[in-house]
Amino acid sequence: MKPDTIVLIHGFWVTPRSWEHWIAHYQAKGFRVLAPAYPGFEAEVEALNSDPTPIEQLTVPAIISSLQKLIDGLDSKPILMGHSAGGVFTQILLDHGYGACGVAINSAPTEGVAVVPLSQVKATFPVLKNPANRHKAVGFTYDQWRYAFTNTFPEDQAKATYERYHIPASGHVFWGSALANIHPGHADSYVDYHNDNRAPLLFIAGENDHLMPPKIQRSNAKHYKSKTLTEIVEYPGRSHLMPAQGGWEEVADYALDWALGHS
């Protein structure tokens, strides 16, 4: 029996609102679609920009626990799709035995993926330039958003997405991810690359993504040494905010068709 539920997991600097097109698209195809917010992110974008306290208090274990509780309440395993940091959470959930299959779109890297392209350094500099940001919620200016998220968007669309989707990100979580390969022991982004019981996983990479370039996705995929299926596909001309970029329907349909074919 094929999955009838899709769980969409958002990334940093955005909320579940960033999935709005995909939610309606998949619902129109008859699927139950869940797009959960991180703990404390249930407020609207405008409220989180006004009071970023929930962002400052965010932790990865709390996110994973919340997502696992949601999935535990379902009658059957869903399709998991995650964007950016949501791609990491998708990988962690699959490693923990959750999900019929997973799709990671422009995913941030899991522990052990040490590739750091120059464009990523520039895109993340607003957060990493100051160690004090580890205790803050750190937002992007429009120009920073334009470079990191919407570099191939038309100008009017780039501005519209900034106004509609942008919120600050957790400096604590982001710094923890950046230091994951330095600190001893497993970090919050750890997965078992040799887990033969993990469900199939697809990476979707955007050719022109500055924040999480394709070489990160390729390196992440190559880290998996298990017998279960891991594939990667790259879309030309796409930026980081692929779920909201023109032509998103093509990506959404490919992701769904792949998931249904491998679950």
Whose tokens are 């899991």? That residue is 110
Q: pLDDT at position 127, please? A: 62
pLDDT tens, residue by residue, 170-191: 877 765 554 444 344 567 889 9
Q: Show Cβ contacts of residue 40 under 8 Å, excluding neighbours closer than 6 positions.
A: 53, 54, 55, 57, 58
Q: pLDDT at position 92, please? A: 96
pLDDT by residue, tens only, the chain of 263 residues: 889 999 999 999 999 999 999 999 999 999 999 999 999 898 889 999 899 888 888 888 999 999 999 999 999 999 999 999 999 999 999 999 999 999 999 999 898 886 665 667 566 656 656 655 566 788 889 999 999 999 999 999 999 999 999 999 887 776 555 444 434 456 788 999 999 999 999 999 999 999 999 999 999 999 999 999 999 999 999 999 999 999 999 999 999 999 999 99
Q: pLDDT at position 174, please? A: 64
Percent helix, strand, coil in the chain, to 5, is 45, 15, 45
Residue whose C-alpha is closest to residue 115's, from 239, 241, 11, 217: 217
The pTM of the full predicted model, rounded to 2 decimals, is 0.92
Q: pLDDT at position 58, please? A: 87
In the structure encoding, which two tokens stand for residue 168, read together?
Answer: 């600050």
Q: pLDDT at position 59, please? A: 87
Q: Which region holds residue 121: left if phi is over 0, alpha if psi is between -120 and 50, else beta?
A: alpha
Q: Which region holds residue 74: left if phi is over 0, alpha if psi is between -120 and 50, else beta?
A: beta
Q: pLDDT at position 171, please? A: 77
Q: pLDDT at position 128, please? A: 58
Q: pLDDT at position 113, please? A: 83
